[in-house]
């Protein structure tokens, strides 16, 4: 992601929700130039097929890296929210729409066909709903009946929330003994996509039928990857030229079931060794590793296994 020295908009800048259409405004986080943190301090991008270790030469190195990134994130977030304070209400709404709308654009990026102008606008047909989706309607229809599910009709949503991680299971309001009635909001059956000509009539001429506008500033910055910062043309060219053995035979069809039941196969072991090439402690260990093996390897390197660290932390909290 980019800093505020560029007019980066949409998913490049905003990780949030637009209030009228998507909850409470464009609330987001602008990541530091390192782009994003995944497991530990590893990074993975469209133009990479494996995680890149960052600051993982030692526990001290990792701690220093995370401290540095924390400071950068705090400063970048402060600058981003300063920009939010200058945005109009409609701009915050559009930013939230783009955040959701740009999700499938990663496919175009990986295919090397991404065009910013094809994504950075609100369709004129969507604009017709602007007066309807006012503040009061959105808080009731979206927040209470979709996101939080705390309204009287919260159970009408078909949106699935995990009962454990989200602590909900079609909860009924006011502690009533029965769950709220559900699955009555999908008024258009999905079969229209198969047996009706509506999908063909929506945009019969493709993108030429999609016309719209945007009140957000145009994106002027590049696209950041582990291998550098590129403009749109170079990003697409690199994506089209990108090759990985993970996407070719014999590994392209290896899935989790294959790994689970055929981990001793030479092909599966080779896949593991390829993905482990950049690992400081697991390089060339293959597919036969178990948790106890990983703990032993860490002890041999003079480091405390993560399982023991977590256990000690849990004991301290208790």
48-81 pLDDT, tens digit per residue, is 888 888 888 877 888 899 999 999 999 999 999 9
**Rounded-to-integer distance, Cα 17 and Cα 97, Å:** 7
Q: Are residues 231 and 198 in the same domain?
A: no
Question: Do 297 and 228 belong to one domain?
Answer: no
At 77, list the tokens: 């977030």
Q: Are residues 163 and 308 in the same domain?
A: no
**One domain for residues 257 and 194:** no
Instruction: Looking at the structure, tell me whether residues 26 and 113 fall in a common domain.
Output: yes
Contact 6, 80 (CB under 8 A): no
Which pLDDT band holds residue 113 (cuts at 50, 70, 90)? very high
**Does residue 217 lie in a domain region?**
no
- Whether residues 38 and 79 share a domain: the answer is yes
In a 3-state reduction of DSSP, which class is residue 317? helix
Residue 169 has pLDDT above 70, yes or no: no
Is 264 within the bounds of a domain? yes
Q: Does residue 74 lie in a domain region?
A: yes
Looking at the structure, do residues 263 and 236 belong to the same domain, yes or no? no
pLDDT in tens, 290-316: 999 999 999 998 888 888 888 877 666
- Position 2 in a domain: no
Considering the domain architecture, whether residues 109 and 158 belong to the same structural domain is answered as no
Question: At 53, is the secondary structure helix, strand, or coil?
Answer: strand
Structure token pair of residue 71: 């400071």
Q: Alpha-carbon distance 125 to 212, whole Å?
A: 8
In a domain, 274, yes or no: yes
**Which tokens in the block code for residue 54?**
């960052």
Helices (H), 189-290: 192-195, 198-202, 232-241, 256-261, 266-275
CA 240, CA 230: separation in Å to the nearest integer? 14
Q: CA 111 to CA 290: how far, in whole Å?
A: 36
pLDDT at 78: 96
User: What would the two tokens of residue 64 be?
Assistant: 């220093």
141 plus 171 within the same structural domain: yes
Q: How confident is the model at residue 152 (pLDDT cuts 50, 70, 90)?
A: low
Q: Is residue 261 part of a domain?
A: yes
Is residue 1 in some structural domain?
no
User: Could you tell me the residue range of the domain that residue 61 belongs to?
Assistant: 10-120+223-241
Same domain membership, residue 187 and residue 301: no
Please state whether beta strands 52-53 and 42-43 pair in parallel, antiparallel, or not at all (unpaired). antiparallel
Residue 3 lies in a domain: no
- Does the global pTM surpass 0.85? no
250 shares a domain with 290: yes
Strand stretches in the chain, DSSP E? 42-43, 52-53, 122-123, 212-213, 223-225, 228-230
Distance CA 297, CA 151 (A): 52
Does 148 lie in the same domain as 102? no
User: How many domains does one find in the chain?
Assistant: 3
Q: How far apart, in Å, are the Cα atoms of 185 and each of 133, 142, 189, 312?
A: 17, 12, 10, 48
């Amino acid at each position: 992601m980019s800093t505020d020295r560029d007019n980066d908009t949409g998913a490049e800048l905003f990780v949030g929700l637009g209030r009228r259409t998507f909850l409470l405004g464009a609330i987001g986080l602008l990541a530091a130039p390192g782009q994003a943190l995944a497991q530990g301090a590893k990074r993975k991008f469209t133009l990479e097929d494996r995680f890149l270790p960052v600051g993982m030469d030692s526990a001290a190195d990792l701690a220093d890296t995370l401290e540095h990134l924390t400071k950068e994130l705090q400063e970048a977030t402060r600058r981003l929210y300063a920009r939010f304070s200058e945005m109009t209400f409609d701009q915050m709404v559009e930013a939230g729409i783009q955040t959701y709308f740009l999700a499938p654009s990663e496919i175009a990026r990986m295919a090397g066909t991404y065009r910013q102008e094809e994504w950075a606008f609100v369709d004129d047909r969507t604009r017709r709903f602007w007066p309807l989706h006012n503040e009061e309607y959105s808080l009731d229809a979206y927040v209470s009946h979709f996101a939080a599910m705390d309204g009287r009709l919260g159970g009408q949503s078909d949106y699935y929330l995990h009962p454990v991680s989200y602590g909900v299971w079609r909860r009924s309001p006011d502690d009533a003994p029965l769950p709220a009635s559900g699955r009555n909001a999908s008024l258009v059956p999905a079969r229209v996509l198969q047996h009706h000509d509506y999908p063909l009539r929506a945009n019969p001429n493709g993108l030429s039928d999609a016309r719209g506008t945007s009140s957000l500033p145009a994106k002027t910055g590049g696209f950041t990857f582990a291998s550098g910062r590129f403009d749109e043309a170079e990003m697409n060219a690199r994506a089209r030229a990108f090759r990985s053995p993970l996407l070719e035979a014999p590994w392209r069809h290896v899935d989790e079931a294959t790994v689970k039941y055929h981990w001793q196969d030479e092909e599966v072991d080779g896949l593991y060794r390829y993905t482990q090439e950049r690992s400081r402690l697991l390089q060339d260990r293959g597919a036969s590793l178990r948790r106890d093996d990983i703990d032993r390897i860490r002890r041999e390197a003079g480091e405390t296994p993560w399982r023991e660290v977590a256990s000690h932390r849990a004991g301290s909290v208790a």
